[in-house]
Amino acid sequence: MDKRTTILDIKKHKRGKKQVWLTAYDFYTARYLDAAGVDGILVGDSLNMVVYGHQSTLSLSLEQSLFHTDAVVRGSERALVIGDMPFLTYQHSISDAVLNAGRYLKEARAGGVKLEGGMEMADTIARIVEVGIPVMGHIGLTPQSINVFGGYRVQGKEDKSRTYLLESSRALEEAGCFAVVLEAMKPDIAGEITESLSIPTIGIGAGPDVDGQILVISDILGYDDTFEAKFVRKYADVASIIRDAAKKFAEDVRSGNYPSKDETY
């Protein structure tokens, strides 16, 4: 029997136990996150930055996202895996959006998709959900729109932006989203949105008054030792672990200490 978390399990969490989400992009990370008991794994388009080393998420292709989503699904057994639709794979037309969203379920066996945008995306989301594809919404700082925002800026500071966020969250719920990511916004507006919706809100840089939290795996592991953000808590220092292991290997190879007799056939 399939023991994979479903969107119904996720929806039940509303105002209950806080939900735990992390991003992952590969098989082994997915395996360990699954073993750690996370509720959901997002194969975020942050992939383009933290795996491929680009400055933004914009150039990620649908194929790249699908390959990594497939690896994460194979690495996990229990967590709900959501694929994050790249820039311009869902904004151009509703029919493109449905076909591209469907590829996550057909080719990568994901449990659903995430896409960015507020009320302006409601018709697209409604159609994707109508054909049987679960959708996670994403409002606030939506990184695919950084060129419009003028950078990575906290949202919900002005009345106009607060109204947009509140109305958009309702539009996403009405369109059929099973949950919505609230990214980089003032905590009081995130709290207000969480109170007003019947679907769970998953925050990233949105304060404590949400139904769950998501962070980028590379940030909590400390992969990039130059990256700092107010909302990120670092639980490991993988940059040092990799550097130290590589240095020790180099010393052993150069000194002839590796391979030993036991390590030789």
Residues 164, 186: contact at Cβ < 8 Å? Answer: no
79 CA to centre of own chain? 13
Residue 46 binds ligand KIV, judged by CB under 6 A: yes
Provide, rounded to whole angstroms, the least separation between the CB of residue 190 and ligand KIV.
Answer: 13
44 lies in the binding site for ligand KIV (CB under 6 A): yes
CB nearer to ligand KIV: pick between 120 and 130: 120
- The residue number whose beta carbon is nearest to ligand KIV equals 44
Displacement of CA 103 from its chain's centroid (Å): 18
Per CB under 6 A, does 211 bind ligand KIV? no
SS3 63: helix
- Nearest Cα neighbor of 7 from 24, 23, 19 is 19
Residue 141 binds to ligand KIV (criterion: CB under 6 A): no
18 secondary structure, DSSP code: P
Instruction: Give me the helices (H) in the chain, please.
Output: 7-12, 27-36, 47-50, 62-75, 94-106, 122-130, 146-149, 159-175, 187-196, 217-221, 238-255
Taking CB under 6 A as the binding criterion, the range among 42-50, 123-131, 166-174, 228-236 that sits at the site for ligand KIV is: 42-50
For the segment 166-205, give every residue that binds ligand KIV (CB under 6 A).
181, 183, 204
Q: How many CB atoms lie within 10 A of CB 222?
A: 17
Q: Which stretch binds ligand KIV (CB under 6 A): 41-49, 67-75, 96-104, 235-243?
A: 41-49
Q: Which of 77, 158, 173, 183 is catalytic?
A: 183
Catalytic-residue membership of 158: no
Catalytic residue annotation: 183
Residues forming contacts to ligand KIV in the complex (CB under 6 A) are: 23, 42, 44-46, 84, 181, 183, 204, 214, 216
